[in-house]
Structure 1
Amino acid sequence: MLIFILLYLALTIVRPQDYMPGLTGLPILSVVLLLAFFSWLLSSAKTFAAPQFMILPVFLLAMMMSQVAAGWAGGALEVLSAFGPTMIAFFVLATVTANSPRRIATTFAVFVLCACVLALHGVDQSLNGIGWTGVGMAEDGRIQYVGIFNDPNDLGLLFAAVLPMACFLSGRGGFLRRIFWLAAAGLLLYGVYLTNSRGAFLAVLAIGGAYVWYKRGIVTAGILGSVGLVAMQLLSSRMQELDADESSAAGRVDAWYEGLHMFLSHPLFGVGAGNFTEYNYLTAHNSFVLVLAETGFFGFITWLAFVGYGFWMMLKVLRSPPQPAAEGVVGAWADERTLALTLLLSQLGLFAAAFFLSRSYTVVMYLLIAVLVGYYVGVRKRYPSLPSFSLAEGWWRWIPIALGSIFALFVIVEVLMHTS
């Protein structure tokens, strides 16, 4: 099961089936995922000990219902076909990584190495104008890849999200291993630079700021964050245009405005998953607005809970360590906290970039959260005093959180509309 799901992860990111002539058109991803799924079905290690295992199928149902409510019953089957594999991959990968921290480290290595392949492809593009896939640079001089990473912003999002994993791996093993993973981290940062993605730059800044905040406090994080923002503006011409009046930013704000009004006109089930551009010429450019507009309050509250529980779980590990005398040695718990911090930073980077991109349904997001969920299931087995999360006890909390989030989105858009 581990081999199959890690192979699926690698094929999802590197995507040789999208550019190698001998593999084009072959259902490689589907076959590998089916093998992983059947191995999961036969395994006795299946787990459902986290609320995300229940929330994700409900979110799939919300997407399907949004299509039915929009007047196209056949669209529900299309949603099932498109998102069903992502849900299967989530269940399998979460189960695999729940077994041990060592498997999580192995998964980190696959994430980082595959992302480095894409970064090297970007370096090839920047030097020669075209990469080994046959794909050239974007018209504005930014690197791109194939398949789901043909947008420079998607590449930047991936590089930023796996950067904490590379840093984590650099802290394990001997000198040569440390140098190797630090070099990988440097390559990922260079990849972010080549994408020239403002969302990715801000994600890296958020990751660094959160890490410094955790280690040195909010004042130091604020000072270094300000310095980092100035440095990024010097490095990137697009970061210098980080203003609501700039045409690209203004288009995003307009799309957010339209998305919120789609929600107001279809508050319960939205305009239908995948239908945003039927109502606006641009996509939402915000993962939260996209879910809210397309699936309504029902879909938004389930998606927000799915994402929010992940942050909550990692914060519990970081803030509520068990007593070492009762449950293990101090060093072992320190390792657990380092893993939790890595996963928290990765998710933070992912959503810092996703706040400016329409990536609510992208498979990479769900694979990363699967690792996070698997880790928490595993750490609770090792440290039973950590709290469990149950929808039966805490589902109602997500109603005011969702309402508050929607209100915040309206306030943000209103402020930006009046300052642009």
Structure 2
Amino acid sequence: MSIRLPRGTQDILPGQVEKWQLIEQKARELCHKFQYQEIRTPIFEHTDLFLRSVGDTTDIVQKEMYTFDDRGGRSLTLRPEGTASTVRSFVEHKMFGQANQPVKLYYMGPMFRYERPQAGRFRQFVQFGVEAIGSDDPAIDAEVIALAMALYKEMGLKKLKLVINSLGDKESRAKHREALIAHFSPSINEFCSDCQSRLEKNPMRILDCKKDREHPLMKTAPSIIDHLNDESKQYFKKVQQYLTDLEIEFEVDANLVRGLDYYTHTAFEIMSDAEGFGAITTLCGGGRYNGLTEEVGGPEAPGIGFALSIERFLAALEAENVELPIDQSIDCYIVALGEEARDYSVGLLHKLRHAGYSAERDYSDRKIKAQFKAADRMNAKYVAVIGEDELKNNKINLKIMDSGEQKEMELASFIQDFTALYRN
């Protein structure tokens, strides 16, 4: 019986992995410019962390987490998202005591959710995310959104739509909660069992339901915007002002609630408007989470962040026909003819690599024509040919593949001569 990879996972093979590396490199470069530092947290955490932070009424906690007991009987969960782990680490390592606030962090790594696999959505997927913890300045909200937009645009995406909303503070949320309960209660039996259980626990989650999204009451549900107090309105107004100052276009969508319980004030999504991208258009989501540090046992430290899927990023690039500048060439391929030349080429190959060049040689004792074909397949810029006669005469023949020009060089000084030619 052949063993295949588990459903909802993927192998990222050579030829594709270079695209991932390019996105990851660009993300790291941007984070350096914006002064976000990398954090790496465990792939599994105590289950209680996600129950407290993500929320026990969310689809993630109720249906999608990979949870198991270890040999000591402790309940552990493969991380379904990165914010909870980052905040837990922020609290545990007392980063709130650092001189520079907010603490600006980013992460990149695999997350796990048990959901139906579909285009661009996997059970193991890779997220890049940033978190700024320790400030309630609306300018940091705009900065976080600007970082996400910059990453997409600098990689070549053009058909983007930024949607924002305010979920308000605790007072605003409480008023909105009462209005939602009053709105949905008379007809709650027409909704799915999940929505019925959420009515009293967290009625805002009803607005995020995928099964009942076409129900008439969804379209007439009370808007959180209409229940914002003056402080929340002013905060949201400032965020919009800063985005306008940064020349970032956006739309306000009062129905945007996001799928996690910890969000307050600013919530946002970046979507792809590319034709044929698919039914699920969201590329990136995030928002403010004032109160989350207290939930995991720390002091008050308001925060904001976002997370994006690398898989969906790549799908959006494909939908817009963006060709990433992947260099799959090598600097030099050594063609060796005869046993002595093959033996000598082992050391020569090492010298080329040690000098900083990408280089390769034949390992199958093929004829000269087959070795040149291999050099072509690898997009070699130069081919160095060495045989028995060349060894005797301390010579090596170098072919410049673009022009077909050939140069004879001294074998003893080949690395220096190759470097001089390569740099010119």
TM-score normalized with structure 2 length: 0.23
Higher relative contact order (CA 8 A, sep 6+): 1
Answer with 1 or 2: which has the greater Rg: 2
TM-score normalized with structure 1 length: 0.24
Structure whose residues are more often strand by fraction: 2
Structure whose residues are more often helix by fraction: 1
